[in-house]
Amino acid sequence: MTPNAVDVIKAKRDGGRLTDEQIDWVVARYIEGAVAEEQMSALAMAIVLRGMDAAETARWTQAMIDSGDRLDLTVGVDLGGRPLVDKHSTGGVGDKITLPLAPLVAACGAAVPQLSGRGLGHTGGTLDKLESIPGWRATLSTEEMLAQLEDVGAVICAAGAALAPADKKLYALRDVTGTVEAIPLIASSIMSKKIAEGTGALVLDVKVGSGAFMKNLADATELARALVSIGVEHGLRISAVLTDMSVPLGRAVGNAVEVAESIEVLKGGGPADVVELTVALAREMLSLAGLSDVDPAEVLASGKAYETWCRMIAAQGGDPEATLPAAKHVEVVEAVEDGVLIGLDAYAVGVAAWRLGAGRARKEDPVQHAAGVMCLAKPGDTVHKGQPLLELRTDTPELLAAARDALAGGIVIGDAPREPKPLIIDTLRG
């Protein structure tokens, strides 16, 4: 008997398990328009409330993959024996890790096809950051992407509209119906796109903390397990690294400022936490790719990763030596008392950067490439009254007041430092 939308909704509403046939049917018919938006909204809410088991989630992921094209990065491409490996982050504040990581892993001998997205709300988007480089373009044809992967070993570009189109449509619906939080839907959204991209190995950076989508470790761990389970079900070599996002990553939060910080890392400098996470994720990616005998820290120090970065940027029309955009207005936030900076809330800083113009409220909104926040002090630092703690950067000075409001309560100065949280919390492997 052919499924129908009402029966599928009722089955999940009543706590039942959806059959493979029901899942395949409802996703396919939703793309065609035969399942109405309000019906899929009801089903998404039922999934939020009732959940899905591992098998349902894997099948839902497959149905989303089957809604569009699937890349095969091994056909018609001569990678010279380079193994394919990819990385995905669930998003955070100051999370520019993809920028130094992709050329580093490529310089270590792997091929990195990094299909990335844009920022929304307080978390930044990799493509927005890179578009602050004059001439750089995010949109490549499949042929251009494969040629660059063959020549350079790394490409960071926009995913084509034909990859998992059901995810794009469903994500927009979830965003306006209060159903984003369903872990099975989050996991299938991430994995459908990554599996459709055609990589054979994947490392997931699952953020946890105030600046992340998952605020507590229990939820982040549940998501990580779901992601790894889907990957294993679909034959991927996969691991998920749980990392802290209670404090901004690095000192730069924005677009051009994060590119500049990434270049510092590639040249052998940069903030210690950005270097630590870049090298740790590189090690994990190289392990999955069968290149665990290569030390990414040594390759980073050698300058080879920076050379790969320059080639990668130039291949997409960018000028790696160009001067990056600088904000027209800079306002300093000062310490109000002497003491130790014990709190710099990632979410507060992320919202401040967003309000300065670095992010967007809707996908179609533009971003200011020069806008953002520079963290001049980090938790654990001793500070003095009047000392600069943050720089607020924007081309639109009337946005400064909203950014200051966003920081209210986000900066905490005390008498003694707190025990620092580890940056890398745990790793789950498939």
**One-character DSSP codes across 334-367:** E-SSSEEEEEE-HHHHHHHHIIIIIS-SSTT---
The total of other beta-carbon atoms located within 10 Å of residue 139's CB is 12
At 120 the pLDDT is: 66
Say whether 319 is catalytic: no
For the chain, the structural domain boundaries read 5-66, 86-322, 329-414
Structure tokens at 422: 């580890």
The active-site residue, picked from 59, 88, 96, 122, is 88
Say whether 88 is catalytic: yes
Instruction: Please give the average per-residue pLDDT across 329-343, as a whole number.
Output: 97
CA trace torsion 240, 218, 276, 257 (10° rounding): 100
At 355 the pLDDT is: 95
The active-site residue, picked from 86, 128, 167, 244, is 167
Structure tokens at 177: 């119906």
Q: Angle at Cα 219 formed by Cα 216 and Cα 220, nearest 5°? A: 80
- Mean pLDDT across the chain: 94
Indicate the CATH number for domain 5-66: 1.20.970.10
The active-site residue, picked from 193, 194, 251, 393, is 193
Say whether 369 is catalytic: no
Instruction: Please give the average per-residue pLDDT across 219-228, as a whole number.
Output: 96
Spatial distance between the Cα atoms of 166 and 191, rounded to a whole number of angstroms: 13
- Burial of 376 from C-beta contacts in 10 A (0-12 / 13-18 / 19+): middle
At 199 the pLDDT is: 85
At 181 the pLDDT is: 81
The active-site residue, picked from 82, 122, 129, 174, is 174
At 389 the pLDDT is: 98
The active-site residue, picked from 189, 192, 210, 229, is 189
- Using one digit for the tens of pLDDT, what is the confidence trace for 405-417? 999 999 999 998 8
Spatial distance between the Cα atoms of 257 and 176, rounded to a whole number of angstroms: 31
At 366 the pLDDT is: 86
Say whether 167 is catalytic: yes
- Using one digit for the tens of pLDDT, what is the confidence trace for 351-399? 999 999 998 877 677 899 999 999 999 999 999 999 999 999 999 999 9
The strand order across the sheet containing 339-344 reads 382-383, 339-344, 411-414
At 361 the pLDDT is: 73
- Using one digit for the tens of pLDDT, what is the confidence trace for 251-276? 999 999 999 999 999 999 999 999 99
CATH architecture, domain 86-322: 3-Layer(aba) Sandwich (3.40)
- Using one digit for the tens of pLDDT, what is the confidence trace for 295-317? 999 999 999 999 999 999 999 99
The total of other beta-carbon atoms located within 10 Å of residue 275's CB is 18
- Residue that is written with structure tokens 């349902």 in the block: 56
Homologous superfamily (CATH) for 329-414: Pyrimidine nucleoside phosphorylase-like, C-terminal domain (3.90.1170.30)
Say whether 189 is catalytic: yes
Share of the chain above pLDDT 90, in %: 83
- Using one digit for the tens of pLDDT, what is the confidence trace for 88-120? 999 999 999 999 999 999 999 999 999 888 776
